[in-house]
Chains A and B, each alone.
Chain A
Amino acid sequence: MIANLRQVFRYRALISSLVARELKARYRGSVLGFLWTFANPLLLLGIYTFVFTVVMPGSRGGTRLEPYALFLLCGILPWTWFQTSVMESCSVLVAGGNLIRKVLFPAEVLPIVTVLTGLVNFALSLVILAAFLVYYARPVTAGELAWLPVIVFVQLVFTLALSLLLSSLTVHFRDLRDLVANLLTLWFWGTPIIYSLSQAPERFHGLLALNPMTHVMVAYQSVLFLEGPFDDWPALLWLGALSLVLLAIAYFVFDRLRDTLAEEV
């Protein structure tokens, strides 16, 4: 396993080239190019903002979530990264079957590339977020902003762990993909993205706290949207440590299934 990890490190140039290829292939040959990647989150942003500020303005219970569009953006952009990475990981090995069967190279490169491509897209989408921040003239302190890389890293590790696990398991259980698609919808509503954690009834807080993505989203919202210092950092760091353990487990599972991949994809 350690030897394989070292091999992944050796393939870092390949990983970065593949990420560049994914981005290039996606943005070449389309007029709006990279805007398409953000079409879906922006559409969601528009819909939710319209529904919750125009159609049902009372539904937010007079909270301090103003401007609501900015609050939404803080959650929707990282969630888009998470969701697309997890979803694509479910098919990345099967789609890359030709490679796995015909070329000798470590298969974990494929889910890693998926997650990292999502990360690059997320980083690019932060430009949009920055524009919103400037437009609304939000006070974001440097101290809070310093937490942003930490939050991104925690989300990266957690997403990688899940992607590795799901990519290898879907090779054996193809319908896992359908299950995951539905679970992600449930997960989206079970995570404080379009509502804030404080809005949720007190008795559900314990349940929401079990959701790792809750802590990630709360962290983004605290740092980028809410005023005042970021207090929830112990939970975030715990999640980071837990994600590293999960990643180790996921890699172990992937490694065990590795030899069956070439036969099953």
Chain B
Amino acid sequence: MHAVEVRDVRKVYRRYGRRKSFGTLKSALLSGGVLRNLRPDSTFLALDGVSLDVEAGRTVGIIGRNGSGKSSMLKLIAGIGKPTSGTVHVSGRVSALIELGAGFHPEISGRDNVFINGMMLGLSRSEIARRFDDIVAFAELGDFIDEPVKTYSSGMYMRLGFAVAINVDPDVLLVDEVLAVGDEAFTHKCLEKFAEFRRRGKTIVIVTHTLDLVTRFCDEAVWLDGGRLRASGDPKRVVDAYLLEVAGSENRAAPVVVPEPAASPDSNGAGRWGSREAEIEHVELLRADGQSAHVFESGQPVRIRVRVRAPHPLHDFVFGIGIFTADGICCFGTNTQIEGGAPGELSGTGEFTVIIDRLDLVAGAYKLDVAVHRQDGVPYDYHRLLYSFRVASSVKDTGIYRPQHHWTFAGGIAITGPESERRS
């Protein structure tokens, strides 16, 4: 089911008056005809035929340069503006974090402001009363809640605004760069709250310039450029393409071609893209004994063997791998460039192997990225999450990484041989 459906949306902003910043009745009468003055002098196309679907429960990041239509898009989804043509459909309650604490009145207490702000966002008085303690607790206001808002620090102000908006308990949460304004602690707190939202299967749409946030946090990225949809899909692929263009626009004029996934990515974001000037032909995971395998014992060695082929000799190439959990959290990623390798030549068929001496991961399912790309990041062949393996372990510890460790006890503690002890 789609939580947000945007169909072929155009948004035209009108600008009235060439010399004046806004229309006046006097000038309308003097220049003859009120109606003529109501006609815009110039228009600005903010969005030009954008279609977008967001499935319920997904987190989507919208990226793009300033003026690319990101915020317009978010406002249309929020219902604050209407599209000039096309349709926007959102199912469920929407809360938009566009400006924190918009509508707070400085002269009255935080308590009164919470009620009024909550009601503006569509809650009833009793709903707010029920959530009031949560809101105050999140905002860390304590007794300040009964002081006028004008006495608050900017941090308190933002926390309170965020707390109210987040406690609307929306099905669809829209976020516009609010994280950029807070300090580290606030940002962390917000991200934690977003993560909680994700776990509860809510839909989140984020507009941001923090690309790192998109790759780390989003299931999908959308790149808007000049009011048009430039690319959408796997966050890493879209962000990489965007970064290339931003870097590229500084030294060359030609637009970057967004690598299209050859196979349509599945819901986990897996896929394959690239120019194929070099191709990954085969990827294999091997145990210590050289046997191809799918399941590995935690703490045992693993080899990732990759066969690549370049029809024409290449002198600019980097090999890389990345290991991800089933949830898409990157456990480890590296490439030959990071580790100081300088490319010589790649011609015909070749093979590289990454040897991991100890696979210190906890039991679970993992996925693998394998890529060959240019030094500036342009992919030749990018295999995103296409390979999977399992780590098995007799110990049911949790997390991702299991460092080599052991327990020692001293004093008045008597434990006989904890199961987890593995002196090795």
Contacts and interface: CB of A to CB of B under 8 A. Distances in A.
A179 B26 CA distance: 9
Given A13-B125, A173-B28, A259-B81, A104 B96 contact: yes
Given A24-B108, A102-B99, A104-B78, A176 B25 contact: yes
Given A99-B103, A173-B28, A14 B116 contact: yes
Given A24-B112, A104-B96, A174 B119 contact: no
Interface string A92-125: 0000001111111100000000000000000000
A264 interface: yes
B105 interface: yes
A259 B23 CA distance: 17
Nearest to A171: B22
Given A13-B124, A25-B107, A172-B38, A18 B116 contact: yes
A153 B401 CA distance: 72
Interface in A217-262: 259, 262
Given A14-B120, A21-B105, A175 B24 contact: yes
A28 interface: yes
B34 to A, nearest CB: 8
Interface string A67-107: 00000000000000000000000000000001111111100
A4 interface: no
A263 interface: yes
B13 interface: yes
B80 interface: yes
Contacts of A25: 105, 107-108
B22 A105 contact: no
Contacts of A104: 78-80, 94, 96, 121-122
Q: Is the interface of A mostly helix, strand, loop or mixed?
A: helix
A50 interface: no
Contacts of B24: 173-175
A9 B119 CA distance: 13
Contacts of A179: 25
A136 interface: no
Contact of A13 (B23, B79, B107, B119): B119
Interface in B15-46: 16, 22-26, 28, 38
Contacts of B79: 104
B82 interface: yes
Interface in B73-122: 75, 78-82, 94, 96, 98-99, 102-103, 105, 107-108, 112, 115-116, 119-122
A20 B80 CA distance: 26
Interface in B381-405: none
A102 B121 CA distance: 11
B131 interface: no
Contacts of B119: 11, 13-14, 17
A103 B120 contact: yes
B25 A21 contact: no
Contacts of B13: 263
A263 B24 CA distance: 16
A17 B96 contact: no
B354 to A, nearest CB: 50
A28 B124 contact: no
Interface of A: 11, 13-14, 17-18, 20-21, 24-25, 28-29, 98-105, 172-176, 179, 259, 262-264
11 contacts: A17-B125, A25-B107, A25-B108, A28-B148, A98-B102, A100-B80, A102-B96, A103-B96, A173-B28, A175-B24, A179-B25
